[in-house]
C-alpha cells in the first residue's frame, strides 16, 4: 500500500484504527522508562515467555524483561495486520516497533500472532523455545480476551462483565457521549459465570505451564506470574464479586496448583500479581471503571504516587524479580502492586468525590479528559511529537 494519512476513526468511544507512528512512540516511551531507571541492567531472567504480549500489562512486562534484564523473549498475542487501506491493530504496531528496537539493540525477540488458547499455540511456542531460546525462567500470563475456544472440546465460551447474585446500580460514564448516567446491571446467569471463568480463569495458564513442563522447557527455579485486580469497594459488585472476579478467584486457585508443581519439580513458583487499575483496552470496557479511572490518577498524582502501566511493571520486575529480590506477598500469597491505589487516603478522596460527579461537572471534578486522551493514545493517537498530517506506511511487518 502507498503511505496514507491516518486520522482517528471511532465507533462510539472505541477506536477502530491505529496509528503506526503513535504506537511506535508509545513503545519508545516505555523503553525509556526502563532504560532511564538508575541501576542499569539487572540479572534475574534470561528467557521469558509473555502470553498477551502486545498491549497493556503484557507489553510493559515484555519491555521490562527485554531492556531491564537483557532477556530473550517470546511474545504471544492475537492482533490484526493491516489489510488494504485498513490499518493494523495497535498491538500489531506495538509489536512491530518492539521488534525494530530489539533488533537495533541486539536483543533476541520472537513473536507468535496466534490464539493462545489453542493447543497449536503451545506446540508452536515449544518449537520456538527448543530451537531458538533456552529453558524459560519466567512465564508472564497477561491475557484479556472476550472469548475462548476450548482446545479439547471446541466449545466456544464468551466472557461477560456482570454482577453475580443481584443487580448492581451505580453511576458510570457513557463513553460514547461523555455523560454521567445511572446504570443498572442485571446479574449474570450461572452459565455466564461459568463461561467467564472458562475464558478468564486459570485453566489455560495451567495448560501452558503443563505443556512447558511436559516438554522439559522450564528452567530450574522457573517462575510464573498471572495478573489480577481487586480494586475498591465501589467496583466490587462489577469486579471482585462479579463474573470477572469469579474468574480471578479461579486464577488464584490455579496459582496454588501451579506453585506446588513448580516447587516440587524445579524449586520454582507461581504467583498472582494484583496490579493497579490503568487505562487499557480491557479495563475501559468494564462499566463503572472509566469513572473510577478518571478519579484515581488525581488522588495518586496529588500524593506523587501515580504509576502508569510501564512504571508498575518496572517496579514489579526490578523490586520483586531481580536476583536477590524477595517476593513479598499478602496473606493469600499474592503480590500487591496495587498497594498505592488501595491506600486509605487515596480511596477516601475518591469516595468523597464520587457521589458529587455529574455530567455538568465531570470535567472539573475528574480527570476524564486525561482518561479519554490516554485511551486514544493506546491506539497511537493524540501523542505529542507525532505528525498526524504526514503520510505513514501502515502495512508494516513484525
Q: Which residues contact ligand NAD (rule: CB under 6 A)?
A: 52-58, 76-79, 91, 115-117, 142-145, 227-229, 275, 277-278, 280-283
User: How big is the chain by its Cα radius of gyration, in Å?
Assistant: 20
By C-beta, is 244 or 392 nearer to ligand NAD?
244
Rounded Cα distance between 243 and 159, Å, is 8
Told to judge if 239 belongs to the known catalytic residues of this protein, a careful annotator would answer: yes
197, 206 Cβ separation under 8 angstroms: no
By C-beta, is 219 or 236 nearer to ligand NAD?
236
The residue from 92, 93, 229, 239 that is catalytic is 239
User: Which residue is associated with the grid cell 465531570?
Assistant: 362
Rounded Cα distance between 197 and 250, Å, is 7
Tell me the three cell numbers of residue 226: 498471572
Report the residue closest to ligand NAD, judged by CB.
56
By C-beta, is 262 or 277 nearer to ligand NAD?
277
Rounded Cα distance between 6 and 302, Å, is 36
By C-beta, is 12 or 216 nearer to ligand NAD?
12
Contacts of 241 (CB under 8 A, 6+ apart): 163, 164, 165
The tally of CA atoms less than 13 A away on the side-chain side of residue 318 is: 20
By C-beta, is 124 or 219 nearer to ligand NAD?
124
Candidates 31, 21, 88, 120; CA nearest to 310 is 31
With H, G, I as helix, E, B as strand and everything else as coil, classify residue 182. strand
Q: Residue 199 burial by CB count (10 A; 0-12/13-18/19+): exposed, middle or buried?
A: buried
88, 20 Cβ separation under 8 angstroms: yes
User: Which residue is associated with the grid cell 503520510?
Assistant: 391
Catalytic residues: 239
Amino acid at each position: 500500500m502507498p503511505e496514507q494519512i491516518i486520522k482517528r476513526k471511532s465507533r462510539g468511544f472505541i477506536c477502530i484504527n491505529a496509528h503506526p507512528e503513535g504506537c511506535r512512540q508509545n513503545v519508545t516511551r516505555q523503553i525509556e522508562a526502563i532504560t532511564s531507571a538508575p541501576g542499569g541492567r539487572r540479572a534475574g531472567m534470561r528467557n521469558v515467555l509473555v502470553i498477551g504480549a502486545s498491549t497493556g500489562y503484557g507489553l510493559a512486562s515484555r519491555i521490562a524483561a527485554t531492556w531491564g534484564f537483557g532477556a530473550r523473549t517470546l511474545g504471544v498475542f492475537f492482533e490484526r495486520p493491516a489489510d488494504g487501506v485498513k490499518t493494523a491493530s495497535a498491538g500489531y504496531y506495538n509489536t512491530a516497533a518492539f521488534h525494530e528496537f530489539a533488533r537495533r539493540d541486539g536483543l533476541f525477540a520472537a513473536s507468535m500472532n496466534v490464539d493462545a488458547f489453542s493447543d497449536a499455540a503451545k506446540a508452536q511456542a515449544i518449537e520456538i523455545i527448543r530451537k531458538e531460546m533456552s529453558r524459560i525462567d519466567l512465564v508472564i500470563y497477561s491475557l484479556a480476551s472476550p472469548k475462548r475456544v476450548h482446545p479439547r472440546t471446541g466449545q466456544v465460551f464468551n466472557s461477560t462483565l456482570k454482577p453475580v447474585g443481584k443487580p448492581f446500580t451505580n453511576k458510570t460514564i457513557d463513553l460514547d457521549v461523555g455523560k454521567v448516567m445511572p446504570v443498572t446491571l442485571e446479574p449474570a446467569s450461572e452459565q455466564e459465570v461459568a463461561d467467564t471463568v472458562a475464558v478468564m480463569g486459570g485453566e489455560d495458564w495451567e495448560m501452558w505451564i503443563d505443556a512447558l513442563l511436559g516438554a522439559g522447557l522450564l528452567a530450574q527455579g522457573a517462575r510464573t506470574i498471572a495478573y489480577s485486580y481487586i480494586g475498591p469497594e465501589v467496583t466490587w459488585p462489577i469486579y471482585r464479586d462479579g463474573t470477572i472476579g469469579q474468574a480471578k478467584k479461579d486464577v488464584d486457585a490455579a496459582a496454588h496448583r501451579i506453585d506446588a508443581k513448580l516447587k516440587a519439580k524445579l524449586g520454582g513458583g507461581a504467583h498472582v500479581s494484583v496490579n493497579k487499575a490503568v487505562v487499557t483496552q480491557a479495563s475501559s470496557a468494564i462499566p463503572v471503571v472509566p469513572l473510577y479511572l478518571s478519579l484515581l490518577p488525581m488522588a495518586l498524582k496529588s500524593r506523587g504516587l501515580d504509576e502508569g502501566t510501564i512504571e508498575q511493571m518496572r517496579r514489579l520486575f526490578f523490586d520483586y524479580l531481580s536476583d536477590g529480590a524477595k517476593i513479598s506477598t499478602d496473606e493469600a500469597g499474592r503480590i500487591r502492586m496495587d498497594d498505592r491505589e488501595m491506600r486509605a487516603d487515596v480511596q477516601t478522596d475518591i469516595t468523597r468525590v464520587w457521589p458529587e460527579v455529574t455530567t455538568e461537572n465531570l470535567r472539573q471534578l475528574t480527570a476524564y479528559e486525561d482518561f479519554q486522551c490516554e485511551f486514544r493514545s493506546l491506539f497511537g493517537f493524540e501523542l505529542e511529537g507525532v505528525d498526524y498530517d504526514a503520510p505513514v506506511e501502515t502495512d508494516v511487518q513484525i
